[in-house]
Structure 1
Amino acid sequence: MIELRGLTKRYGDKTAVDHLTFSVRPGMVTGFLGPNGAGKSTTMRMMLGLDSPTSGDVRIDGRRYDQLRDPLNSIGALLEAKAVHGGRSAYNHLLCMAQSNNIPKKRIDSVLDLVGLSDVAKKRPKGFSLGMGQRLGIAAALLGDPQILMFDEPVNGLDPEGIHWIRNLMKHLAGEGRTVFVSSHLMSEMALTAEHLVVIGRGRLLADTSMADFIAENSRTFVRVRTPQPERMRDVLVSFGVRPVFEQDGAMQVEGVEPARLGEIAAWYQVVLHELSPQKASLEEAFMRLTAESVEYQAHDQAAQPPPGDRGTGGAPARRNR
């Protein structure tokens, strides 16, 4: 288990992490989300003792990282895949890590085989593709067979087969009772992998909840109803105290009524239905809604900007305030 209590990090006048308190529990994949600049990387670095907190505390199974005698046997992490010595072979890179943490040499061959790098074990990582570098970083995280694993953007550079593999690997590790903590900007992938979510914005905790509850609490759900008798269906629903919202194509959005109940109502009043489909928000939509006020670096919609050289009605260039 990873436990954060009031974790805070300041750089001068800027607060990167602001009194974060949450726990990452074993037996599930916990996703770590936040906009760019939210403090995710700083938080993960403090978990691993790479940055010192201004205040607060992080415990790895009850101990600080610097109290772990052989830390790779307790927690493995992938934060930066390219953080390897380019002149050493993949095998020797892992050998140095193994020797510094009292890990048997035979474990090196096991993790290289697991991540699919056995054939390039004697090659130097500086010639690896981004995906191969990611696999080597994952091998390093798994080297000590730890009970706690942290991954920052683990699918970067991986092909579809590699993404499928790392997704199943994380689920398998969590199924073994391990603590798995993963940060990623790929919402579609996170939705398939994580069971629990921790979301931060501007260094502060925004959510610590299950995936299902997060989407339900931060999105709008409704049933889409399409019928050749829209007015009749509307009148029927109004008689039940339900006011549908019409879409541009004539379909209706109905909130607060289960699809099965809507089907029963339509059947009872002999209304023909062409569509009856529940609509639920994606993780991305729920995330965008929750973090809308916490985005530090925000681009603007080009369509909303005046075209280059836009001129006023009199033909003169539009005046700009200085």
Structure 2
Amino acid sequence: MIELAGLTKRYGRTTAVQDLTFSVRPGVVTGFLGPNGSGKSTTMRMILGLDHPSAGQVRIDGRRYHQLADPLTHIGALLEAKAVHPGRTAYHHLLCLAQSNDIPLRRIDDVLDLVGLAGVAKKRPKGFSLGMGQRLGIASALLGDPRILMFDEPVNGLDPEGIQWIRNLMKRLAAEGRTVFVSSHLMSEMALTADHLIVIGQGRLLADTSMARFIEENARTFVRVRSPDHERLRAALERAGGRPRQCPDGSLEIEDLPAARVGELAAENDVVLHELSHQQASLEEAFMRLTHESVEYHARAGR
């Protein structure tokens, strides 16, 4: 488990992270979301002891990072895929990590095979593609077979097969009872991967909740219905207490009646339907709605 209590980081007059308190629990994939500049990377660096908090603390299974003997056997992380010595082969990069953390050398071949790099183990990472570099970074995180995994943008540079692989890997690791904490800007991918969400904006905690509840609380859901006799349908919906909204394509949108009731009303009034569908909001829509006031960098539409 990762536990943050009042975590704060200041750089001069700039506060990058302010009073963050949350826990990342084992057994689920926890997504870490926030706009650019929200403090996600700074938070992850403080978890690993790479940056020192101005206030508050982080504990990894009850201890601070510097108190962990052989830390890679407790927490494995991918923060920057290119953070490798360009003159070492992939194998020797992992060998240095293994020797410094008292990890059995047989584990090197295991993780290289797991991430699909066994065939290039003797090659130098400086010639690797971005996707291959990501796979080596993931291998480094897995090397100590830790109970806690932390990934920052793990799908960068991966092809569709690689994206599906890392998604399934994170789910499997969580199913084994491990703690999995992952940051990504790809909302569609996060929606398929994460069970729980931590959302921050301008360094502050905005949400700590399940994926389903986050979408339910922060995005609009409605029923869309189309009929060649939409005026009669509208009247029936209004008599039942609904407030249908007319769309440019002729369909009606209703937020205050469930799809089943809309269908029943149409049947009771002999109204033919061409469409009746429940529209579930996306994670992206929910995220944008919650964080729109926390976005630090805004682009303007071009001509």
- Unaligned runs of 5+ residues in structure 1 are 304-322
Return the alpha-carbon distance in structure 2 between the equivalents of residues 80 and 255 of structure 1.
44
| CA distances 1:130-167 after superposition (whole Å, capped 9, x unpaired) | 00000000000000000000000000000000001000
Q: How far does residue 6 in structure 1 lie from its aligned partner after superposition?
A: 0.2
Mapped pair 1:42 → 2:33: no
Residue 5 of structure 1 aligns to a residue in which SS? strand
Letter in 2 for 1:218: N
Q: 1:121 is matched with which residue?
A: 121
Q: 1:307 is matched with which residue?
A: none
Q: 2:282 is matched with which residue?
A: 282
Return the alpha-carbon distance in structure 2 between the equivalents of residues 220 and 156 of structure 1.
30
Residue 42 of structure 2 aligns to a residue in which SS? helix
Larger Rg: 1
Identity of aligned residues (%): 76
Letter in 1 for 2:74: S
Residue 16 of structure 2 aligns to a residue in which SS? strand
Q: How far does residue 302 in structure 1 lie from its aligned partner after superposition?
A: 2.7
Residue 192 of structure 1 aligns to a residue in which SS? helix
Mapped pair 1:97 → 2:101: no
Q: 2:112 is matched with which residue?
A: 112
Residue 92 of structure 1 aligns to a residue in which SS? helix
Letter in 2 for 1:245: R
Q: 1:317 is matched with which residue?
A: none
**Greater shift in the superposed pair: 43-52 or 262-271:** 262-271
Q: 1:298 is matched with which residue?
A: 298
Q: 2:244 is matched with which residue?
A: 244
Q: 1:27 is matched with which residue?
A: 27
| CA distances 1:218-250 after superposition (whole Å, capped 9, x unpaired) | 111100010011110111111111120000111
Q: 2:10 is matched with which residue?
A: 10
Q: How far does residue 265 in structure 1 lie from its aligned partner after superposition?
A: 1.4
C-alpha contact (below 8 Å) 2:243/2:256 kept by paired residues: no
Letter in 1 for 2:136: L
Q: How far does residue 300 in structure 1 lie from its aligned partner after superposition?
A: 1.6
Return the alpha-carbon distance in structure 1 between the equivalents of residues 218 and 237 of structure 2.
26
Corresponding pairs, count: 303
Return the alpha-carbon distance in structure 1 between the equivalents of residues 298 and 62 of structure 2.
38
Q: 1:269 is matched with which residue?
A: 269
Letter in 1 for 2:127: G
Residue 82 of structure 1 aligns to a residue in which SS? coil
Return the alpha-carbon distance in structure 2 between the equivalents of residues 21 and 298 of structure 1.
28
Return the alpha-carbon distance in structure 1 between the equivalents of residues 249 and 2 of structure 2.
50
Residue 6 of structure 1 aligns to a residue in which SS? strand
Instruction: Give the RMSD, CA atoms, in angstroms.
Output: 0.6
Return the alpha-carbon distance in structure 2 between the equivalents of residues 31 and 243 of structure 1.
36
Q: 2:253 is matched with which residue?
A: 253
TM-score scaled by structure 1? 0.93
Letter in 2 for 1:236: A
C-alpha contact (below 8 Å) 2:224/2:254 kept by paired residues: yes
Return the alpha-carbon distance in structure 2 between the equivalents of residues 60 and 258 of structure 1.
45
Runs of 4 or more above 3 Å deviation: none
Residue 170 of structure 2 aligns to a residue in which SS? helix
Q: 1:227 is matched with which residue?
A: 227
Return the alpha-carbon distance in structure 1 between the equivalents of residues 127 and 235 of structure 2.
68
Return the alpha-carbon distance in structure 1 between the equivalents of residues 108 and 76 of structure 2.
14
Q: How far does residue 301 in structure 1 lie from its aligned partner after superposition?
A: 2.3
TM-score scaled by structure 2? 0.99
Letter in 1 for 2:80: E
C-alpha contact (below 8 Å) 2:225/2:273 kept by paired residues: yes
Q: How far does residue 269 in structure 1 lie from its aligned partner after superposition?
A: 1.3
Q: 1:132 is matched with which residue?
A: 132
- Unaligned runs of 5+ residues in structure 2 are none
Residue 302 of structure 1 aligns to a residue in which SS? coil
Residue 46 of structure 1 aligns to a residue in which SS? helix
Residue 294 of structure 1 aligns to a residue in which SS? coil
Return the alpha-carbon distance in structure 1 between the equivalents of residues 123 and 243 of structure 2.
66
Return the alpha-carbon distance in structure 2 between the equivalents of residues 262 and 242 of structure 1.
9
Letter in 2 for 1:4: L
| CA distances 1:240-282 after superposition (whole Å, capped 9, x unpaired) | 1112000011100011211111111111111111000111211
Return the alpha-carbon distance in structure 2 between the equivalents of residues 257 and 302 of structure 1.
40
Return the alpha-carbon distance in structure 2 between the equivalents of residues 266 and 211 of structure 1.
33
Q: 1:180 is matched with which residue?
A: 180
C-alpha contact (below 8 Å) 2:134/2:156 kept by paired residues: yes
| CA distances 1:170-215 after superposition (whole Å, capped 9, x unpaired) | 0000000000000000000000000100000000000000001111
